[in-house]
Amino acid sequence: MKINLFKVFSITVIIAFYSAFLAQAQTPSGLRDIQPDTTGEAKINKILQDSGNSFKEGLLNLQDNRRSQAREKFDKSIEAFLMSNINVSSNPKLQNCYNQLVETIYRVEFPSPQQQPQIKSLAMTCGWDVKSELADNVVKMTQSAPNSTTTTAGNTSNNNDPIKSVVSQPQIAQNGFSEQKFEPSNLDTLAQLVLTPEEENVVNTPEGQQEYIMISQAVNGGSLGFKFQMNQRVQQFLGYYQGRGRSTMEIGLNRSGMFMRMARRIFREQGIPENIAWLGQVESAWKPIAFSSASASGLWQFIPGTGARYGLRRTAYVDERNSFEKATTASAQYLKFLANRYGGNWELAMAAYNSGEGNVDRAIRRAGVSSFWAAYPYLPQETRNYVPNILAVILIANNPNRYGFGHVRPAPQLVYDSVRVPSSTSLGLIAQASNTTVDYLRYLNPEFRTNSTPPEPYVVRVPAGHGNNVFAVLKKVPGANRNNVALTNVLAGETAQNIANRTGTTVEQLKQVNGGVVPGKGPVVVPDSKIAKLPNYVRQTSQVTPTSTNKVVVVKSKAGDTVAKIANRFGVPPIEVARFNGLSGIDAPLAAGRELKIPPR
């Protein structure tokens, strides 16, 4: 399923901060209320100046294709407002600039031909000096689609597998300045796949003819849960997968283990033959972030229009085409609709799933009969490959030993807890509460387009066994603070005052963000802004000789450093350093230059 739109990528924490800040402006309690408002004209002008300088640096970086640096500068332009301790909503000048800044950065990262980023208008609103040439260059960049990185079939006379080149490709070109990656779908190459003469002639041997009869009998006997008309084209694709397409099939059968149990259950609940769920292998090779050059997305490759038709929302916060359960349910419902439309003919239903009802209806009219193989010559090339491809996958998946795939073991089922969280909750906080990383949360929740949940209660998948922890943490954190706090673990023997001293805050503030009581053990919520300002830091610029100290030491990691290596350098247990910094592992490489806090000894 496909259309031509730009590829979508994750936005930074900008929207999350924005939602939290607006909520905070309307809430009488919260961390920001601890500081008195300062609304002097000089202070306001300084905020605008700092924000404008960072924004212009972001534009320059983006113009030079330094996307990561651009993102950092755009974040800083937002932080100039967020860290000012001024209620933006109370000052029209600040509010207008802030609102338009957030919208403009969003439009830069989520390009749309209909809604271009209004950089010049933003500069006028905020009083910034942004050169017209720079603004125009950035707008042009955001409106230019990236070059497709998918590989076409090329010369089909060799034994290379064109689909495998797409299945195994690590990433796809990006828009915007985010780091989110999408994986290419194999549908683009499937459209141009041409079987070799050897693959086509597999049906002309005595063995091939015997195989054809055996498959026809099995299909007619109903052993697959549905019936279809056997055709030589299906057998030819069986030969393709046993030859140059072998790696593609092995990858698909392996990855199917993560999602097939869920897919079978949902298809069964919707009254769809369970084996039809193997359609997902041809659509995406079971990659939730598969993205075709035609902008179909997710496990089931929904285009936006059809996705919306079956309840899959696309907003600034989520693209539910990339979800697990919701997209699978939508796929089953759409297939059920198509099967009913074509009188229970699953070949026609699958053809319409790929190319749309209109193309199939026209092909049927030209053929004069409601049969896929009669309509076959009048269908698009991709669809002519698509349907027999799925049928071949179904046959192999149901009898892998017969076709030489008995050695392939499905990957373990993806397991997780589902937790309903409040609106606009930071994924960073959820990650800490579930003892994982934001990256892994994004892996479990590929529908998220930002590092914040939508501005409404939403179900989030977290690592199995951690759902209750997340629920307990979020239950005690006031709504206005969910994007301004982090977690740290209570160290052995620590009192509330010790925790306050260590995190640079007060006992009263700790109580405020912990539901009135500071825990005596386990995780404790602390103001996030305070964590970055811990007292008694000794910043090191060279190698440190471990000595006994009662101060927190801050060091910057070098290339190849891990938590364990740095902890051993200071004579501190690695697990203690990891917990002190809110990390879950001790052996993973750290990014060069990352600051790590060494607890007092």
DSSP β-ladder status, 553-556 and 538-539: parallel
Q: DSSP secondary structure string, 228-247?
A: ----HHHHHHHHHHHTTTHH
Q: Tokens 């309903």 map to which residue? A: 420
Whole-number Å distance between alpha carbons of 271 and 515:
47
Strand partners, 479: none
DSSP β-ladder status, 595-598 and 538-539: unpaired
Whole-number Å distance between alpha carbons of 360 and 355:
7
Name the DSSP class of 595: E
Q: Tokens 């000096």 map to which residue? A: 129
Question: Residues 325, 234, 196, CA angle at the centre, nearest 5°?
Answer: 115
Whole-number Å distance between alpha carbons of 400 and 164:
19
SS3 150: coil
Whole-number Å distance between alpha carbons of 11 and 323:
17
Q: How far is CA 219 from CA 205, 225, 394, 398, 540, in A?
A: 21, 9, 11, 12, 72
Q: What share of the chain is helix, strand, coil (3-state, %, to 5)?
A: 50, 10, 40
Whole-number Å distance between alpha carbons of 368 and 363:
9
Whole-number Å distance between alpha carbons of 514 and 288:
36
Name the DSSP class of 587: S
91: left (phi over 0), alpha (psi -120 to 50) or beta: beta
Q: What is the dihedral of CA 389, 391, 396, 397, to 10 degrees?
A: 110
Whole-number Å distance between alpha carbons of 558 and 594:
8
Give the residue from 230, 290, 216, 296 showing the smallest Cα distance to 259.
290
Name the phi and psi angles at 460, rounded to 5: -115, 140
End-to-end CA gap in the chain? 60
Strand partners, 538: 553
Q: Tokens 């998946």 map to which residue? A: 397
Give the residue from 489, 484, 485, 437 showing the smallest Cα distance to 599.
489
SS3 letters across 513-525: HCCCCCCCCCEEE
Are the C-beta atoms of 410 and 260 separated by less than 8 Å? yes
Q: What is the CA radius of gyration of the chain?
A: 28
Number of residues written out for the chain? 601
CA atoms within 13 A on the CB side of 453: 26
Report the amino acid identity of residue 520. Answer: G
Active site residue 283: yes
Name the phi and psi angles at 539, rounded to 5: -75, 125
SS3 194: coil
Are the C-beta atoms of 321 and 297 separated by less than 8 Å? yes
Catalytic residue among 109, 211, 283, 382: 283
As annotated, the active-site residues are: 283
